[in-house]
Amino acid sequence: MVTRSIGYSIPSIVEPEIVQFKKNTAKFVLHVEKDTVWRRFNEDKFWRQHNCILTHGGGQPPRGVRRILHRLHYELGLPVYCLLDNDPWGYYIYSVIKQGSINLAYESRRMAIPAARFLGLRSNDYERCQLSPSVQIKLNDQDIKRARQIAQYPWFANKKAWQKELDLMLKNGFKLEVEALISKEISYVTEEYVPARLGEGNFLD
């Protein structure tokens, strides 16, 4: 979580008796999947320009990260936007943040954020952002199987936009990481992609 130009590790226990919010001026939380992407946003001082809090989960976010996101959303009223990879793993991470872990359903009340929004990366971004063929990562059999499983999750099954998203990824035959945007231009993701998504309200629910 970033408040100035440095980052702070989020502990595993972040209950109010351990972590208190004394003052807040941020407008939203941007959660990214990996440390490498977080570093790009931090170095570009995205948090200062857009008055937000940046977090990352090192891939699948641990309980402490999910709990602090939950608290930031419910206690401070901050929208939570998720910038995750265009692959079954990124979509699964979003589902866990939004609805909670299937294996830990009893904790969903303290962790899940149904109002969280998926900001990217999207299956149509390859053409829309004119990315290089070198950023394509071919879907393997496990990816395809996982994508089809996710499509059947209750919180995706009846969402036309998500079904279209998953179908397009399978049709493309490849997945994309957020780093693909950084390969286009070092600050493209912080200066163009995310600000445009936020300004347009262009996200998946």
pLDDT for position 100: 74
Domain boundaries defined on the chain? 28-200
d(CA 62, CA 101): 11
**Stretch 38-57: mean pLDDT:** 94
d(CA 167, CA 59): 23
User: Where does the pLDDT of residue 63 fall: very low under 50, low under 70, confident under 90, or very high at 90 and above?
Assistant: confident
What is this structure's pTM? 0.89
Question: Do residues 78 and 53 make contact, with C-beta atoms less than 8 angstroms apart?
Answer: yes
Give the residue with greater pLDDT, 27 vs 183. Answer: 27
Using DSSP's 3-state secondary structure scheme, residue 162 falls into helix
The fold adopted by the segment(s) 28-200 is: Dna Topoisomerase Vi A Subunit; Chain: A, domain 2 (3.40.1360)
In degrees, rounded to 5, the angle at the alpha carbon of residue 32 between the alpha carbons of residues 187 and 182 is 25
The two structure tokens encoding residue 106: 């009893």
d(CA 201, CA 197): 6
User: Where does the pLDDT of residue 60 fall: very low under 50, low under 70, confident under 90, or very high at 90 and above?
Assistant: confident
Question: Do residues 123 and 198 make contact, with C-beta atoms less than 8 angstroms apart?
Answer: no
| Summary mean pLDDT of the chain | 88
The two structure tokens encoding residue 64: 């402490």
53 phi and psi angles, rounded to 5 deg: -110, 130
User: Where does the pLDDT of residue 1 fall: very low under 50, low under 70, confident under 90, or very high at 90 and above?
Assistant: very low
Please give the sequence-ordered ranges of beta strands (E in DSSP) within 1-151, or none if there are none.
Answer: 28-32, 52-56, 80-83, 117-120, 137-138
d(CA 146, CA 17): 39
Give the residue with greater pLDDT, 63 vs 72. Answer: 72
Question: Do residues 166 and 89 make contact, with C-beta atoms less than 8 angstroms apart?
Answer: no
| C-alpha distance from residue 58 to each of 9, 32, 205 (Å) | 11, 9, 22
d(CA 150, CA 121): 17
